[in-house]
Each structure stands twice: as C-alpha cells, then as structure tokens.
Amino acid sequence: LIDCRREDGRARVPSPSFIGTTRAMDMEDSSSSPAAAADLVDYLGPDTSVTVFTMLHHPADLARASAVSRSWRQFVIDNQFSKLQCLRACPEVSTFTQVNITTTSGSRTPARRDQDTTTGPSAEDEKLHRDHRVYTHLGHGLLSPYKPRDCIIHCIGASSTDNFPDETIENTLEPVDHLESNRPSYWSSGGQRDPAVPECLIYRLQADLCLIQEIKLQPFKAFFQHGDPIYSPKSIRIQMGYPRSPLRPEALVCDENEGQLIDDRNYVWTYTSPEFPMLQENVLQSFKLPRPVLCIGGVVKVELLGRVQKQAIDGLYYIW
C-alpha cells in the first residue's frame, strides 16, 4: 500500500507517471491470473457454457457469439444451437431427416476456410457445418419480423361439390361474394341428411416450407334463397403436411377436373390444430393458431366439422 496523504493529512494526488505505473502493474498482475487468460467457454466448462448459449433466443445473437473466436464458432456448431433455436420456434423441424445445400448454378458448395487442408474434414464435421448453415438461415426466416401474406396458390380438391364447376372449390379463393358478372361466387358441399358428416378443402401452398399463423374463412350467405340462410360449419380444424408422391398439375382442380387427391392416404399430416368454433355469420372470420406452424410439404387441409343449416328445397344439410 502506498500512503497518498500529505503531511497535513489531506489527500495527495499522485503524478501522472505514478498513475500510469500503477495501472501497468495492475494489468500485469491480472494477466498473470489463469482465470483471466482462459477462454470463457473453457473457464465455465462445457455444461455451464451450453446452458448460457441456450439462453440466446435469436439467430442474430447466436451469430454474434459465433463471431467472437474460432473456438466459440466451433462450440456453437458442435452443439447445434442453430437447430435448437428452430426447434423451439417450430417443433415440426424435428421431422427433418436430412438437410442439403444446393446452388442455382449447380456448382458445389465451396470448402470451409477453417478446415484442415492436410487431413480434410470428417463426414460428421461436414454434416455439422452444413446443418449449422441451413438452420441458421431457417432460423432467420422463422424468428425475424415478417409481413403476413396469402400462401395458397392452388386448389387440390374438396371432399364433395354440389354443382361442379359452378360451385367449385376455386371460388373460395375469390375475395368477394359476387364476380363481375354479378354471378355468386361460393363453394357448396354435397347435401347430407346427417348434420355430423364432415367436409374438407385441401390447398397447395406457394412453397414447400410456409410459416402459417392463421386461417381466414367466410361463410356464404345464400341471398338468393328465402331468409338469406348461412350454411356455415359448426367448427373447423386445420391439418398441414406433405403429399406421399409429387402432385401432378393435371391432378389439381380446374374447370374440367374436380380434384382427385382427397383421400388422407395420399398425405402425411405433420400438424393438427385444435377445433375452432365458427360463427354462423357472413363475415370474414380469423382462426389464429396457438403458435406459428411450419408447414412442411406445402399442403393445408381445412376440415369443416358439423352442419347447422338445412336447405328448404330438399331438406338436406349443406356447407357453403
């Protein structure tokens, strides 16, 4: 300890050279400490470090951590933190069996700059680096802010259609009840005596991977029938998945084709939502999923459960 008091008892300010010397000595002493010189991951140990890194919930934070040093980047890759972020956001990612990186030109993915050029990377090491790149990119897409937009691009088919093609499922993609010709635009199921018979509508999405947050439906009001009845279902349920074989364009709904791929055996459903009650009102109703769901395979099935309106002319229950 150095006494910095003057003879009269008041504090004495050290000279600048003294301060500099003191700081240099402090730095030298601290750098000699093993704890200060060690890498934080090495100092905390693998278990505690994994706990700390799993607290990073956004890909940008994980990218910053990976940029600290090569050892930190390797630690992130080896423990697959980017994949963990995707799994937390969308558990459907667990159904992935393999990921690959392709380029539009068909060229091979360039070799990593940090790989050992003498022995070469192992197959497992290459897989870890490839997975890290893919899941980092996917994580940015899943967790970054985005502007919602319509995802449906084609109609695969309806479980039944009363009058095809006038009441085709393709009418459900029209945002209005009337077309320019003033002709009503709606889909109608076939009639049933049992109100419990369900119906379904199946759609193809714009991409094989789509993040679905909500589904919007509007029951149709039959303004051309007495009393303007509304043929809504009691509730709806959403399923998402992928076709067991590629969807051929000729199998999709068109003016000449009512749709052929309705059977559940044609699909693998990876997500099923809870049931949502539907109002018997001619308004656009939004059904928000409990969480955003990653639709893997680009197929959405809307199940229409229960019927509430009987048509007076034939005494059968319909869904419009």
- Per-residue pLDDT tens over the stretch 149-195: 889 999 999 999 999 988 999 999 987 776 666 778 899 999 999 99
The C-alpha atoms of residue 262 and residue 155 are separated, in whole angstroms, by 11
Give me 104's structure tokens. Answer: 């539009």
Nearest to 200 by CA among 231, 244, 165, 156: 156
pLDDT at 11: 42
Task: Count Cα atoms within 13 angstroms, Cβ side, for 30.
Answer: 7
Residue 265 CB partners (closer than 8 Å, separation 6+): 244
Of 188-192, 236-240, 256-260, where does mean pLDDT reach its minimum?
A: 256-260
> With bands split at pLDDT 50, 70 and 90, how would you rate the model's confidence at 105?
low
Output the pTM of the full model: 0.77
- 237: helix, strand or coil: strand
The C-alpha atoms of residue 305 and residue 299 are separated, in whole angstroms, by 19
Is the pLDDT reported for residue 21 higher than 70?
Answer: no
Task: Count Cα atoms within 13 angstroms, Cβ side, for 44.
Answer: 12
